[in-house]
Amino acid sequence: MTPSRAPLIGITLDSEPPSTTGGYSRFAWYALRQNYMDMISACGGLPVAVGHDAAQAGQMVARLDGLVITGGAFDVPPDLYGDEPPHATVQTKPRRTAAEMALLGEGLALGRPVLGICGGMQLLAVLLGGRLVQHIPDTYPAALAHEQPNPRDEAGHVVHVTPGTQLARLVGCDTLAVNSSHHQAVADAGRGVVCATAPDGVVEAIELPGHPFCMGVQWHPEFGISAGDRLLFEGLIDAARQTGT
């Protein structure tokens, strides 16, 4: 990749069913908050939306320089990490999960820089052989409000960054103020390494040692709440420049 070319960063979309009450469309539709693309553009990347066709994952990732797996109001199916039955709160989107699993697998195999956000981090942990907590209050009775009551463009709590990790080197600090919008969490990161936790012990970030850039964060850094949020995206895009096609 020539130095003047902005790295092409794929961003996975959410999917919504047809609306029967006068919503966006009477047909199934994709969705993505604007700030995902805005943040990537601001950090020097060229964002492109990625749909949910698992069969095209190899061709798609081969053309990308980096990949962002986004979050959404749904859960990773528990059978993917050997935890049955599903909790009563669990909601799934199987087609989206299958496509994102395929994209992540191709991204890791090809050495592409990857950032998993919220549910994207949880899916990354599962792909790396880990497991999830299906419902935080059941495992952490004294948990913080990980579904924060205040707006998502404000901080909900802080996280403690693990010294010596790639995340610590990237953000240059040991605590970050983050937003929070999840009811599940990583119980075991598999081949990944935990690189940040909340004060109540909930895992907030993981990374894969030996990969150019493979990181997952439980919060939504696209809101740019702290300087560390932008540094995450800058780190992804810098890695994409170095490893790009």
Do 200 and 140 contact (CB within 8 A), yes or no? yes
Q: Calculate the average pLDDT of the chain.
A: 96
Predicted confidence band at 5 (pLDDT cuts at 50, 70, 90)?
A: confident
Do 75 and 90 contact (CB within 8 A), yes or no? yes
- The confidence score (pLDDT) of residue 27 equals 95
Predicted confidence band at 61 (pLDDT cuts at 50, 70, 90)?
A: very high
- The confidence score (pLDDT) of residue 145 equals 96
Predicted confidence band at 3 (pLDDT cuts at 50, 70, 90)?
A: low
Of residues 100, 204, 207, 222, which has the active-site annotation? 222
pLDDT at 9 over 60: yes
Residue 40 CA to residue 31 CA, distance in Å, equals 17
Do 13 and 70 contact (CB within 8 A), yes or no? yes
Residue 195 catalytic?
A: no
- The confidence score (pLDDT) of residue 128 equals 98
Average pLDDT over residues 26-32: 95
**Percent of the chain, pLDDT > 70?**
98
The CATH-assigned architecture of domain 8-243 is: 3-Layer(aba) Sandwich (3.40)
Nearest to 190 by CA among 82, 69, 103: 82
Q: What is the DSSP letter of 18?
A: P
Q: Which helix or strand (DSSP H or E) is residue 28 part of?
A: none
The length of the chain is: 245
Average pLDDT over residues 7-26: 93
Of residues 52, 157, 182, 220, which has the active-site annotation? 220
Of residues 43, 118, 195, 214, which has the active-site annotation? 118
pLDDT at 2 over 70: no
Residue 222 catalytic?
A: yes
Do 125 and 76 contact (CB within 8 A), yes or no? no
pLDDT at 87 over 70: yes
User: What are the boundaries of each domain within the chain?
Assistant: 8-243
Nearest to 226 by CA among 37, 39, 27, 67: 39
Average pLDDT over residues 195-219: 97
- Tens digit of each residue's pLDDT (9 = 90 or more) over 123-152: 999 999 999 999 999 999 999 999 999 999
Q: Pairing relation of β-strands 185-188 and 131-133?
A: antiparallel
* Side-by-side strand order, sheet with 214-217: 46-50, 8-12, 66-69, 114-117, 214-217, 203-207, 193-197, 157-161, 175-178
Do 147 and 118 contact (CB within 8 A), yes or no? no
One-letter amino acid of 163 = P
Residue 67 CA to residue 237 CA, distance in Å, equals 10
pLDDT at 209 over 90: yes
Average pLDDT over residues 13-23: 91
Q: Which residue has the tokens 């012990």?
A: 201
CB half-sphere exposure, 192, CA atoms < 13 A: 32
- The confidence score (pLDDT) of residue 238 equals 97
Residue 235 CA to residue 228 CA, distance in Å, equals 10
- The confidence score (pLDDT) of residue 22 equals 81
User: Tokens standing for 163?
Assistant: 């010294």
Do 136 and 183 contact (CB within 8 A), yes or no? yes
Q: Pairing relation of β-strands 66-69 and 203-207?
A: unpaired
